Structure 1
């Protein structure tokens, strides 16, 4: 079942640094970020999944269900890392957490992106391939999309149904670390039109898709506009 805890920017993920994978997973979850275990690396640098020349070594979940089982439940997390002490840490995005990746190998330029959208200082890591991942929080009443190149060439967003590899995971070119001491900033309102889903989050108790009445659609539209106005004023 999907967790719906409020996302709180976790100070401890940046300062002080945490190097034990289980401790980091526990800390993220304690602050409201949903986590999941990823296959770690063997001593020879190969992926613990056993696949020869794994294309996503150290970066894919050993739960086999994507992010569906990502959780903030500390007991579950403890059991996972007791089974695989060297499992890397995945953090599920969406539900109040958006990660934006700027990849220079695909044409992305960090400074240009920051200047174009007036991006504030925020928590950030640099991946093993040289791209930057910027962490942002947003209003959980919104549903944001995972996108590619909508904010510019070489720029991805990770939101609903996605996850990122979080510090201090170990990949083939070294450990993933925070590169600054900022906490995640609020997502600038100027970015919302590019990543916003046309509907609000459905309630957690909603089991199946229902066809809304015209009145319900109109009310949802009014609520969404109100949320967007609030986000604009906040930023």
Structure 2
């Protein structure tokens, strides 16, 4: 109720204050960047190099790149992704401007929501005493909730496709909640985005254990539905559905 009142009255939400006081320092220096990447790998997140911003454009050769600075460098990113410390150190030191992606569906999934909905959901989850894992902000428009994966069971016959599944090439079609699981990826902090769109940074760090995604899903989908209703251009798109 308090979160809804804050959103609809225009008042400042408690989560906005919390984010400002708890946000880790940005790490523009190479040592800080490498340390954060190694910490992500040590937490089990498989990493691979990604494109980076070149002014307002992408570092890749693709003209009119649809996801500038947000995609892997190699088409073999799924097999290339690793948690090997030595390999990540080599990448970080030889590709000093590169962003990094983490492949989802191996160790972790990511619930990717509009930032305005994510901030209110985060406040609700914390207030309800629900364990929330690592959370990152991606630019000025998205928030990433890192969870344990449900995409790689021991018995492949038990793998369940979800109507919320999101793959990189379909992200523009899903302005609401995106579920990154097997076959998808997200940028991992620290990462830079083109122009003035900001970067990717931790709001809650990797010291927080990965929760089951289903423990967060109800609150996140509820806030995404509210977001869809408040944003006319997104009406009816609180979460993706298959045609």
TM (normalized to structure 1)? 0.59
User: C-alpha root-mean-square deviation of aligned residues, in Å?
Assistant: 3.7
Name the structure 2 match of 1:27: 39
> Any unmatched runs of 5+ in structure 1?
1-13, 193-235
**Partner secondary structure for residue 67 of structure 1:** helix
Name the structure 2 match of 1:187: 212
Query: Are 2:109 and 1:84 equivalent residues in the alignment?
Result: no
Distance 1:113 1:55 in 2: 29
CA-CA distance at 1:187 after TM superposition: 0.9
CA-CA distance at 1:67 after TM superposition: 1.9
Point out the structure with max Rg over C-alpha: 1
Superposed, 1:1-235 pairs within 5 Å as 18-19=27-28, 20=30, 21-42=33-54, 44-103=55-114, 111=120, 120-138=131-149, 141=153, 149=164, 154-172=176-194, 173-181=197-205, 183-189=208-214
**Partner secondary structure for residue 101 of structure 2:** strand
Residue 145 of structure 1 contacts residue 157 of structure 1 at CA under 8 Å; is this kept in 2? Answer: no
Name the structure 2 match of 1:222: none
- Higher helix proportion (structure 1 or 2): 2
Distance 1:147 1:169 in 2: 28
**Partner secondary structure for residue 126 of structure 1:** strand
TM (normalized to structure 2)? 0.58
Residue 125 of structure 1 contacts residue 133 of structure 1 at CA under 8 Å; is this kept in 2? Answer: yes
1:6-55 Cα distance to aligned partner (Å, 9 max, x none): xxxxxxxx86764433333222223322100001112x232111333321
Q: 1:145 to 1:179 in 2, by over 3 A?
A: farther
Distance 1:161 1:191 in 2: 21
Paired positions, count: 175
Q: 1:36 to 1:145 in 2, by over 3 A?
A: farther
CA-CA distance at 1:110 after TM superposition: 6.1
